[in-house]
Amino acid sequence: MRCRRCLAHDPAERKLRFDRNGQAAGSQRKSITMKRLAPLAEIAAQVGVSTATVSRALKRPDLVREETRVAIVSAARKAGYVGADEMLMGKSGKGVIGLVVPDIENPFFSVLTKSVLQELRRSGVSLIVADTNEESVDEGEIITTMLPRVDGVIVASSRLGDSEISELVTGKPVVLINRELQGVSSIVIDYSTGSRQAVEHLAALGHRHIAYAEGPSTSWSNTQRRKSFEAAMADLKLEAQIFGPYTPKFDGGVQAADIAVARGVTAIVAYNDLMAFGIMSRLASRGIRVPDQMSVVGFDDVPEASIWSPALSTVTVSIGASGRLAALALLRAIAGKDRDAGSRRIMSQLVVRGSTAGIGAADK
């Protein structure tokens, strides 16, 4: 076996250690290692740079231009270098991504955060999560503070205005979830199908007085859900009743329930499942039976929806897919690919459970 001094003198080549079977030995340094021996000259020739530049890109990426570094590391990955994916995370080599959510206590964002984290772990990337507590002022400050410390940011369900977001995303890569903005990659849920199915389902059960309880007025998702609800009601020649806006939490649903009773509606579609839970709880406290006397539909299909009593009929969306796709889109943008990939849409659909029924169903 050759001694360590006999290895190539190039600094990058010194990082290679092999046993008798040609496998990389157990060094735990965060330098790039190889599954098979590929001379730097091969990578240099492929990219069109010198071997010294290849060496610097692998050892000191901060000394190499971004586009050159990305090309070299991509070639190194094809040549068998293990760790090239981590090197693609930016010349800082930090491999850290930020995720900004409006309310981490909301099960929707808990599931979303977990799906982002699981996807990033596959690439050896760390995640920093920030909760804006539904405050647009806090959101802007958080993103501004976070950007210099990470390689890119995922912003979920932003409450900021379009111009405010545009001002923040002029530097590092940003991917939006449930928000569309020209020039920024985004993962959005198409609520039109699910909303239409919810209205048609309630109408088929005999309901004619159906209301929508709004979430935050600054929420893009709320606007899409309300518009889809109104369009579906208009197609059925039914008058849409709109309550709110309310905080997108349990307490917001409690408030909406009292308005629904006062207005004489027989079915209500809530902005999200948390509000739907609040509505059902308030109705129960007032002796109004769900679904016998009032039907309730939510949005999101959070894990608790199927075990609530009665189980909640809701418009389901693939929360996990939203998180995974956003993470992958940001990783590609950081690697210099698809910086502006436009919007990718995820479909929604109604899941019928025990919170909806015909009017006076228990008496029939």
Q: What is the CATH number of the domain that holds 201?
A: 3.40.50.2300
- The DSSP secondary structure of 26-77, one letter per residue, reads ---SSS-EESS---HHHHHHHHTS-HHHHHHHHH-GGGS-HHHHHHHHHHHH
* C-alpha span between 48 and 163 (Å, rounded): 41
pTM: 0.72
198 three-state secondary structure = helix
Question: Is 254 found in the same domain as 204?
Answer: yes
Question: Is 335 found in the same domain as 240?
Answer: no
- Region label for 6, one of left (φ > 0), alpha (ψ between -120 and 50) or beta (otherwise): alpha
Question: Is 354 found in the same domain as 212?
Answer: yes
Question: Is 213 found in the same domain as 287?
Answer: yes
In single-letter form, the type of residue at position 142 comes to I
pLDDT at 312: 98
pLDDT at 200: 98
Q: In Å, what is the CA distance from 134 to each residue of 100, 176, 213, 254, 267?
A: 11, 16, 18, 18, 27
Pairing of strands 313-316, 343-347: unpaired
Question: Is 109 found in the same domain as 177?
Answer: yes
How many distinct structural domains can be found in the chain? Answer: 3
- Residue 361 CB contacts under 8 Å (≥ 6 apart), including other chains: 291, 292
Question: Is 305 found in the same domain as 205?
Answer: yes
The structure tokens listed for 251 are 């307490």
Q: In Å, what is the CA distance from 356 to each residue of 202, 248, 275, 290?
A: 7, 21, 16, 7
The structure tokens listed for 237 are 């020649």
Question: Is 45 found in the same domain as 103?
Answer: no
**Could you tell me which of 65, 86, 10, 76 has the C-alpha nearest to residue 43?**
76
Percent of the chain whose pLDDT exceeds 90 = 55
Going 74 to 76 to 78 to 84, the CA torsion angle's sign is negative
Question: Is 285 found in the same domain as 254?
Answer: yes
Question: Is 83 found in the same domain as 215?
Answer: no
pLDDT at 42: 82
pLDDT at 21: 37
The structure tokens listed for 218 are 């600054």
Question: Is 215 found in the same domain as 283?
Answer: yes
87, 110, 130 — which closes off a domain? 87
pLDDT at 340: 59
Q: In Å, what is the CA distance from 143 to each residue of 106, 113, 126, 153?
A: 20, 16, 17, 8
Question: Is 181 found in the same domain as 239?
Answer: no
Question: Is 157 found in the same domain as 57?
Answer: no
Give the pLDDT of the chain (364 residues) as one tens digit per residue. Answer: 444 333 334 434 333 333 333 333 333 334 444 333 456 788 888 888 888 888 777 776 667 776 787 788 777 767 666 555 455 444 444 489 999 999 999 999 999 999 999 999 888 899 999 999 888 778 888 888 888 889 999 999 998 888 888 888 777 899 999 998 888 899 999 999 999 999 999 999 999 999 999 999 999 999 999 999 999 999 999 999 999 999 999 999 999 999 999 999 999 999 999 999 999 999 999 999 999 999 999 999 999 999 999 999 999 999 999 999 999 999 988 888 765 567 899 999 999 999 999 986 655 5
User: Containing domain of residue 73, as a range?
Assistant: 4-87
